[in-house]
Structure 1
């Protein structure tokens, strides 16, 4: 299964043409990979599902999607490191060029036949996202962005919410598997924020959550304990849609997982930081 997309001439990675052509190629690859994901969606058997831990599932579809995308990227860009959740998670994304992939973000939803899952692919240079694609194939929603060029949903521009009132905000969050007793478990923050906003949802896919912040469906999103492949693509899409992305403490580290992630519209983000700090100090 090959994607018919031109391989760019090797030029300085900082040049806009290089990033633009790469982003277009990433879109084509990820959209094709979506057909693999849909083939198994809601129809997996027990033999197709493994448990990496009490908190993490991995399926036949995760592996096939990652294998396909990795083979396409390595053939087209052999000089770029590949960091994949299932097969190359130990690779360093913080220096040089790197692709970072979550083949199916929202695996529990995927296994149960729910539509809130996505393929999340980002291109980073020296640890900074430069191009991003998030594709939710069951929703036929392809989000993309490149640094300095804005964010798109199915090739149409999107913008983050301009709401500045927490009381009128729709927030979204996520939890680790609570039975695993991993701390922090987000329950205290959830309990505090829920009393301050219109509602808090949990959709089960950080990539989808971030994209819904980017296109204004949600006002802000926060979560502990995520990995770079969960957030790198969605974070750039939020930023290019005019939103703000930080750690939950308001600091710059949102990729390592040490500080969690908080993404929101430009007018609500600072207020969300204060809500989370109130919860921490309660």
Structure 2
């Protein structure tokens, strides 16, 4: 790629980030308008819910993106063909979760977030995560660093588990591997400074990026749960892979995510080895 085309691609990604920020704010406005109100709730599966707020927020987000990028494709949680999505695309695709943490939102428990990422061919090139209750907007461009409300982000420098707070998510939809998860959690509990579970993967990821957590792990996630947060972690100096160490788009589409400050990555991979065969 020539220097000119590289610069052009970078400018396109920065522009995409700017529009994504506007889209996230549009979605957040819809969500805030529905806080503390009765919701129409549909069940998509075991402990998997969608409210009218999810759908309305997604419509608002897509409307903003479509105005600027009418030819881009979209992969969003609340669309009919979202299940079974493939990793590889040719061209540009927006990956959207209108409310990451729907159960939290339904019960008035922060955090919950809008998550928007732009995939260009085989890479995520722009990302936004908007923590709606706390009004914190995280954003990144590939090769351009990551910010929160305009301030640069950096992962922490914890070298060992006793120095680190770790975040995770529980397998609340499928219970076939519960014992393995509990074994791994039980082994980590006495080693880490603390374990947290907030119920919104995008928030857990950006908290790795800003240095609050040293690591985060979970299986069974969807691309829209991980896409934006993964780029933000990487641009803040962290690392995101599967348990086995595959990077790129694998943590998004292989339903297995390990995010760390980089220093703790091999330690976390070793601790999570029993989960390596679990993708649900």
Where 1:52 maps in the other structure, the secondary structure is strand
**Displacement of 1:57 after TM fit?**
0.6
The alpha-carbon distance between structure 1 residues 142 and 127, as it changes in their structure 2 partners (threshold 3 A), is same
Mapped to 2, the partners of 1:67 and 1:92 lie a distance apart of 23
2:16 corresponds to 1:22: yes
The farther-off stretch of 207-216 and 195-204 is: 195-204
Q: What RMSD over aligned residues (CA atoms) do the two structures have, in Å?
A: 2.0
The farther-off stretch of 225-234 and 62-71 is: 62-71
2:197 corresponds to 1:202: yes
**Displacement of 1:49 after TM fit?**
0.9
For the Cα contact (< 8 Å) 2:87–2:253, is it kept in 1? no
TM-score (norm 2): 0.89
Question: How many residues are aligned here?
Answer: 267
Q: What does residue range 113-262 of structure 1 map to in structure 2 within 5 Å?
A: 113-177=108-172, 180-183=174-177, 186-252=181-247, 253-258=250-255, 260-262=256-258
2:259 corresponds to 1:267: no
The alpha-carbon distance between structure 1 residues 216 and 157, as it changes in their structure 2 partners (threshold 3 A), is same
The alpha-carbon distance between structure 1 residues 167 and 129, as it changes in their structure 2 partners (threshold 3 A), is same
**Displacement of 1:280 after TM fit?**
6.7
Mapped to 1, the partners of 2:56 and 2:177 lie a distance apart of 32
**Displacement of 1:14 after TM fit?**
5.8
Listed one character per residue, the Cα deviations across residues 190-233 of structure 1 (whole Å, up to 9, x for unaligned) are 22211221111101100000000000011100000001000000
Where 1:267 maps in the other structure, the secondary structure is coil
Mapped to 2, the partners of 1:280 and 1:242 lie a distance apart of 24
Where 1:197 maps in the other structure, the secondary structure is coil
Listed one character per residue, the Cα deviations across residues 26-77 of structure 1 (whole Å, up to 9, x for unaligned) are 10111121111111123233xx111111120100110001111112212321
Structure 2 unmatched runs, 5+: none
Give 1:4's aligned residue: none
For the Cα contact (< 8 Å) 2:111–2:132, is it kept in 1? no
TM-score (norm 1): 0.89
Identify the match of residue 61 of structure 2 among 64, 69, 81: 69
Mapped to 1, the partners of 2:7 and 2:124 lie a distance apart of 12
Where 2:45 maps in the other structure, the secondary structure is coil
